């Protein structure tokens, strides 16, 4: 991206706190933990909160932490959320603080997100007066898509007027904050197609029902859904990422399993994709005499930033990095984000923090070589601090109670 950014990120917070956030981020990166296993990560979060005398609850939705800074009034709560979990990826960054856990890596920046919210916690703790309470949500299990619903079920949105979150983004330069009204993440669902044919000898295919052939036809036919059934103006993706079948070169496979993902930005499109996958899979199976079962595992809905909460986030971003460094997304992001579940219950806004180092190749999230410019930690900490203050200021000036 060629946008020129004038903001010097590390000047947004004091040097001592910035160094502390870098140290925390690197420690978490070195010791990543998968979804629902974030016990050591939670220990580190708790230790930081203890140093700043911020009260918290542990064990929320298994490994989550919820901290609360009191306000002068019992008005609406400002909620700030981060995610804790890593991915089952073998790291190949060569970083001096690379993962020491084989096959597990912070390949999506959650180590940075956690450090950002801890930085905001420190900044908020220094405030002599907070008009309304601020709740810090350290959420497990984001990569499963079930972390946010589990936190909602645990009551973390009680009394919340608005919730804010963010993600490092390699598509934008460090020092920028991306605030977009409308869809910023797609829905994310999985599907599994199980094919039961009839195994047999490779020399006598007429005696068998080849699950590999049936599955291959399904793969090709399913690819026509987006290209021929969905309006091109509505971004959507269907990807089959796994095809398991067969035991030997001279044996016709009687069983096969396909696994894939569905992404859409519009709910009607999301439902149409599911319906079409089932229709095609069952029809291909019937055509070739195979029994087919289709299972959908619904994940996160699409994430929409709407209304006043988005305006609060934009105001906070401008106050943090300056109006010239506040950008907007110009193309669809088809990645999923379970922050969307919070927005089904309360107003809120999800932003992106530019994290690309100038002149360096930006490897994508979930890549074994993913990394980001650590100066973004200062940007995220300063933004979360400012968005809490801006929300309180906005609510107080308008007397809107819990309205965002």
Q: Average pLDDT, whole number, for the chain? A: 95
pLDDT of residue 361: 78
Question: Phi, psi (5° rounding) for residue 106?
Answer: -80, 80
The whole-number pLDDT of residue 362 equals 80
So where are the chain's domains? Answer: 9-186+304-398, 189-300
Q: CA-CA distance, 312 to 213, in Å (whole number)?
A: 54
The pLDDT, as a whole number, for residue 1 is 41
Model confidence band, residue 256 (pLDDT cutoffs 50, 70, 90): very high
Average pLDDT over residues 365-379: 96
Inform me whether the pLDDT recorded for 231 exceeds 80: yes
pLDDT band at 158 (very low <50, low <70, confident <90, very high): very high
Per-residue confidence at 5, pLDDT binned at 50, 70, 90?
low
User: Would the pLDDT of 399 be above 80?
Assistant: no
Give pLDDT, residue 260: 98
Query: Are 86 and 33 within 8 A, CB to CB?
Result: yes
171-175, 227-231, 293-297: which range is least confident on average?
A: 171-175
Q: Give me the CATH topology for the region 9-186+304-398.
A: Aminopeptidase (3.40.630)
The residues facing 69 across adjacent strands are: 134
Q: Between β-strands 255-264 and 187-196, what pairing exists: parallel, antiparallel or unpaired?
A: antiparallel
What CA–CA distance (Å, rounded) separates 195 from 214? 8
Between 195 and 363, name the one with better pLDDT: 195
Q: Do domains 9-186+304-398 and 189-300 have the same CATH topology?
A: no
The CATH number fitting domain 189-300, selected from 3.40.720.10, 3.30.70.360, 1.10.10.10, 3.40.50.300: 3.30.70.360
- Summarize pLDDT for 41-81 with one digit per residue, the tens: 999 999 999 999 999 999 999 999 999 999 999 989 999 99
Q: What is the pLDDT of residue 358?
A: 80
Alpha-carbon gap, residue 305 to 184, rounded angstroms? 7
**pTM of this structure:** 0.92
Q: What percent of the chain has pLDDT over 70?
A: 97
pLDDT at 351: 98
Q: 306-317 pLDDT, tens per residue? A: 899 999 999 999
Helix axes 110-125, 376-398, angle to 10 degrees: 50
- What residues are paired with 233 via a beta bridge? none
At residue 403, the pLDDT reads 54
Q: What is the pLDDT of residues 269-297, one digit of tens each?
A: 999 999 999 999 999 999 999 999 999 99
Q: What is the pLDDT of residue 402?
A: 47
């Amino acid at each position: 991206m060629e946008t020129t950014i004038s903001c010097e990120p590390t000047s947004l917070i004091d040097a001592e706190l910035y160094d502390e956030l870098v140290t925390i981020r690197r420690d978490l990166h070195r010791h990543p933990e998968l979804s629902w296993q974030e016990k050591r990560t939670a220990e580190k979060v708790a230790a930081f909160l203890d140093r700043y005398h911020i009260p918290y609850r542990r064990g929320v939705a298994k490994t989550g932490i919820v901290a609360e800074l009191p306000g002068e009034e019992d008005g609406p709560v400002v909620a700030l959320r981060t995610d804790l979990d890593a991915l089952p990826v073998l790291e190949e960054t060569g970083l001096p603080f690379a993962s020491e856990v084989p096959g597990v890596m912070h390949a999506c920046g959650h180590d940075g997100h956690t450090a950002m919210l801890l930085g905001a916690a420190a900044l908020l703790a220094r405030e002599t007066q907070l008009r309304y309470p601020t709740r810090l949500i350290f959420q497990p299990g984001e990569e499963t898509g079930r972390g946010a619903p589990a936190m909602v079920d645990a009551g973390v949105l009680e009394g919340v007027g608005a919730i804010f979150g963010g993600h490092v983004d390699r598509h934008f330069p460090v020092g920028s904050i991306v605030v977009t009204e409308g869809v910023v993440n797609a829905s994310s669902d999985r599907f599994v197609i199980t094919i039961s044919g009839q195994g047999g000898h490779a020399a006598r295919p007429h005696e068998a029902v080849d699950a590999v052939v049936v599955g291959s036809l399904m793969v090709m036919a399913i690819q026509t859904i987006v290209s021929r059934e969905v309006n091109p103006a509505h971004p959507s993706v269907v990807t089959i990422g796994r095809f398991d079948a067969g035991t030997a070169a001279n044996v016709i496979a009687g069983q096969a399993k396909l696994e894939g993902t569905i992404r859409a930005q519009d709910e009607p499109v999301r439902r149409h994709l599911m319906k079409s996958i089932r229709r095609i899979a069952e029809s291909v199976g019937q055509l070739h005499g195979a029994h087919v079962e289709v299972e959908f595992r619904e994940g996160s809905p699409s994430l929409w930033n709407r209304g006043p909460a988005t305006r609060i986030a934009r105001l906070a971003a401008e106050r943090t990095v300056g109006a010239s460094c506040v950008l907007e997304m110009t193309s669809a992001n088809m990645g999923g984000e379970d922050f969307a579940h919070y927005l089904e219950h309360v107003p809120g806004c999800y932003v992106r923090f530019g994290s690309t180092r100038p002149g360096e190749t930006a490897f994508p999230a979930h890549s074994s070589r993913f990394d980001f410019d650590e100066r973004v930690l200062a940007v995220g900490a300063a933004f979360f601090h400012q968005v809490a203050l801006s929300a309180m200021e906005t609510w107080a000036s308008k007397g809107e109670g819990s309205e965002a």
